[in-house]
C-alpha cells in the first residue's frame, strides 16, 4: 500500500453541497503564522478542479491573504461568475466560521494548441545534482516538503547578515518527488522567502498580501514534465511605503516556461535614517 | 467655467445604496468591442475610493474581463471582505442587468513611509518632446484620450507587416493633460496593444482576460508627479495555448516606479505549420 503524498493530504477537499468544499490545514505545510501561502493557493485551484461545472485548465489565479488561517478545518466557497465558450470566471473564498480569511479569483480555459513563442530566457544554472540541498530552520515546517537547490540567492545571505540584491535562482521539486500538476505548480510560485530579507541581510517582518499566478503550461505539458526539478527565479522591482513586489518565473524541462507570478508583500522596516 | 475631463466623466459613479454605484459607459473610451479595459479597471478603483468605508490607497487590483460591457449604464457592486489594522480586502463586480461582466479583487492599505529601494531600471528614452505623437486608426476611439510618444515598439510594426519582438517603450499622458491619480494610473497599465500583433506583424484577434496591477506610488507621489508624461514599458514572456502574458512598468519623474502590471491575453492564431 502506498501512502498519500503530504501535498495531496494538505490539499484534500470534500464536497459539502453545491459550491462548497471542506478541507483542513496540514501541520506538514505550517508556516510561522498559519499555513504556507502556496498550499492555500493550491487548495483554491484544487477546489475549482474538483467542481463538477469546471471547464478547462487554469489561466490565472489571484489570491488575497486577508487574515491568518487557524489550524483546523476550513471551507472553500466557489462562485461561478460566467462560463463563455472556451473560458470560465470564478470568485473563491476560504472561510473559517463567519470570517473570510482568503479571497480569490480564477480564470480557467480550454487550452488549445496555438502559435507559440517564448521571449523570456531561462537562467543559466549548474545541474541540480551538483548543488547542495538547502536546509531551513525547523520552525519553517513547510520547507521540509521541498527539495530546493539554490544556484543564486539562497537564505545564507540572511544568516550571514549580508545585504544583497533580490535575485534568486533555485532548482525545486516536491519532497518526496511527485508528478507536477497545476496545484503543485501554484504552490511553487510562493516558495521564495521575502526579498526584503535578502536586500537587508536580516530577518524583517513580512507577509504576502496578494499573489497572482499566470499559467503557461497545459496539463499535458505538466504530465510530460513529471516529477523532475523546476528551475525557479525570483526578483523584486521596488520596495516602498510598506509593500514590495516579488516576481517569479518557473521553468520546466527544455526551457519550457511553466508559469509566472507576481506578489505584493507587506513588510515592516523603518526608513533609512 | 471649466468642463470636466473626459476621464472623469467616464469614471463618474453615483452611489445607489450601500455597496453599489451606478456608472455609464463613455463613447470617448470605446474600444473595438465595448469600452477600453483600462477605463473599466479605473472605474473599479474609483468605486472603492468613493466607498465611505474605504481605508487607505490601492496596493493591488486584479480585474477579470468575463464578457463585453454593452454601451449604457452599469452597476459596480462592492463587498468589503475584511478590514485589518492597516489594510483592507475587497471583492468587486461590474454588472449589467443580471450579468456579471467583470469580476475583481482589490487590496487597499495605509501607505506609510518605510525603507525604500528600486531594483528595476528605468529604460533609456529620448525626451518626449523630441518624439512624434502616435496616431491611431479612428475606430480605436479611446486612444484619442492619450498622448503617446513611442521610443520603441510602436504600432507601425503592425502596419508595416514586420514581425518584431514584443518590447515597447512609450511616453504617455492623458489628453488633455490631467493630474495623475490612482484611477488614471490604473488605466495607463492597459494602453499597450496586444503583444501578439507586434510578434506577428499583423492584426490578430486578441483581448485581455485578466489584468493585475501592483501599485508602488502613494497618492502623495502621484500628486507630485502632476500631469507630466509617464514612461511606460511593456513586454511578453510567453505565447502558447491561446494565451500570452504582457507585463508593464510605469515610471514617473526622476525614475520613480509608479506601478507594475501583468495581464493574460487571449489570442486566436493557429500553430505554425
Mean pLDDT of A179-183: 98
Distance CA B198, CA B158 (A): 6
Q: Pick from A46, A42, A54: which is nearest to A80 by CA?
A: A54
**How many Å lie between the alpha carbon of B255 and the closest alpha carbon of chain A?**
11
- Work out how many CB contacts closer than 8 A connect A with B: 219
B175 SS3 class: coil
Query: Residue A2: its pLDDT value, please?
Result: 67
- Inspect the interface and report whether the beta carbons of B237 and A115 lie closer than 8 Å: no
- Inspect the interface and report whether the beta carbons of B243 and A200 lie closer than 8 Å: no
Strands B99-109 and B73-83: unpaired
Task: For residue range A225-267, list pLDDT tens digits in order.
Answer: 999 999 999 999 999 999 999 999 999 988 999 999 999 999 9
- Inspect the interface and report whether the beta carbons of B260 and A262 lie closer than 8 Å: yes
- Inspect the interface and report whether the beta carbons of B111 and A210 lie closer than 8 Å: no
Query: Residue B22: its pLDDT value, please?
Result: 98
Which grid cell sits at B70?
Answer: 454593452
Residue A9 pLDDT level (bands cut at 50, 70, 90): very high
Residue A173 pLDDT level (bands cut at 50, 70, 90): very high
Query: Residue B244: its pLDDT value, please?
Result: 98
Residue B59 pLDDT level (bands cut at 50, 70, 90): very high
Say yes or no: B109 contacts chain A, CB-CB below 8 A: yes
pLDDT more than 70, % of chain A: 99
Q: Pick from B243, B35, B152, B60: which is nearest to B263 by CA?
A: B243
- CB under 8 Å to A133, separation ≥6 — which residues? A147, A148, A149
- CB under 8 Å to B24, separation ≥6 — which residues? B12, B72, B73, B74
For residue A46, the surrounding DSSP H or E stretch is helix A37-50
Say yes or no: A165 contacts chain B, CB-CB below 8 A: yes
Does the pLDDT value for residue A1 go beyond 80? no
Contacts with B, A 4-63, CB within 8 Å: 59-60, 62
Question: From residue A245, how far is each of A195, A202, B3, B209 by CA, in Å?
Answer: 9, 18, 38, 22
Does the pLDDT value for residue B2 go beyond 80? no
Contact B245, B238 (CB under 8 A): yes
Task: For residue range B154-182, list pLDDT tens digits in order.
Answer: 998 888 898 989 999 999 999 999 999 99
> Which residues from A are below 8 Å from B111, CB to CB?
241-243
Residue B195 pLDDT level (bands cut at 50, 70, 90): very high
φ/ψ (deg, to 5) at A59:
-110, -45
- Picking from A64, A245, A249, the nearest residue to B89 by CB comes out as A64
> Which residues from B are below 8 Å from A199, CB to CB?
117
**What predicted TM-score, i.e. pTM, was given to this entire model?**
0.98
Q: Pick from A249, A248, A253, A250: which is nearest to A228 by CA?
A: A253
Mean pLDDT of A68-83: 97
- Greater confidence (A27 vs B2) lies with A27
Its ipTM equals 0.97
Does the pLDDT value for residue A272 go beyond 90? no
Question: From residue B79, how far is each of B88, B107, B127 by CA, in Å?
Answer: 11, 12, 43
Contact B244, B267 (CB under 8 A): yes
Amino acid at each position: 500500500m502506498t501512502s498519500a503524498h503530504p501535498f495531496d493530504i494538505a490539499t484534500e477537499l470534500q464536497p459539502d453541497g453545491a459550491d462548497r468544499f471542506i478541507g483542513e490545514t496540514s501541520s506538514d505545510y505550517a508556516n510561522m503564522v498559519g499555513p504556507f501561502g502556496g498550499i492555500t493557493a493550491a487548495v483554491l485551484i484544487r477546489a475549482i478542479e474538483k467542481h463538477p461545472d469546471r471547464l478547462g485548465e487554469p489561466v490565472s489565479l489571484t489570491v488575497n491573504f486577508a487574515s491568518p488561517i487557524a489550524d483546523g478545518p476550513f471551507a472553500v466557497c466557489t462562485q461561478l461568475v460566467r462560463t463563455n465558450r472556451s473560458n470560465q470566471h470564478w470568485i473563491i473564498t476560504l472561510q473559517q466560521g463567519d470570517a473570510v480569511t482568503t479571497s480569490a479569483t480564477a480564470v480557467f480555459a480550454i487550452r488549445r494548441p496555438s502559435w507559440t513563442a517564448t521571449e523570456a530566457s531561462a537562467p543559466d544554472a549548474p545541474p541540480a545534482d551538483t548543488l547542495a540541498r538547502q536546509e531551513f530552520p525547523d520552525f519553517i515546517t513547510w520547507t521540509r516538503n521541498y527539495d530546493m537547490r539554490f544556484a543564486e540567492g539562497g537564505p545564507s545571505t540572511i544568516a550571514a547578515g549580508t545585504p544583497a540584491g533580490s535575485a534568486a535562482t533555485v532548482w525545486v521539486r516536491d519532497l518526496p518527488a511527485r508528478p507536477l500538476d497545476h496545484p503543485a505548480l501554484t504552490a511553487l510560485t510562493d516558495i521564495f522567502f521575502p526579498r526584503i530579507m535578502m536586500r537587508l541581510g536580516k530577518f524583517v517582518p513580512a507577509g504576502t498580501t496578494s499573489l497572482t499566478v499566470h499559467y503557461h503550461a497545459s496539463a499535458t505539458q505538466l504530465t510530460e514534465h513529471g516529477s523532475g526539478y523546476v528551475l525557479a527565479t525570483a526578483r523584486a522591482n521596488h520596495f516602498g511605503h510598506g509593500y514590495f513586489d516579488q516576481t517569479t518565473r518557473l521553468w520546466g524541462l527544455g526551457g519550457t516556461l511553466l508559469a509566472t507570478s507576481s506578489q505584493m508583500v507587506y513588510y515592516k522596516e523603518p526608513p533609512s535614517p
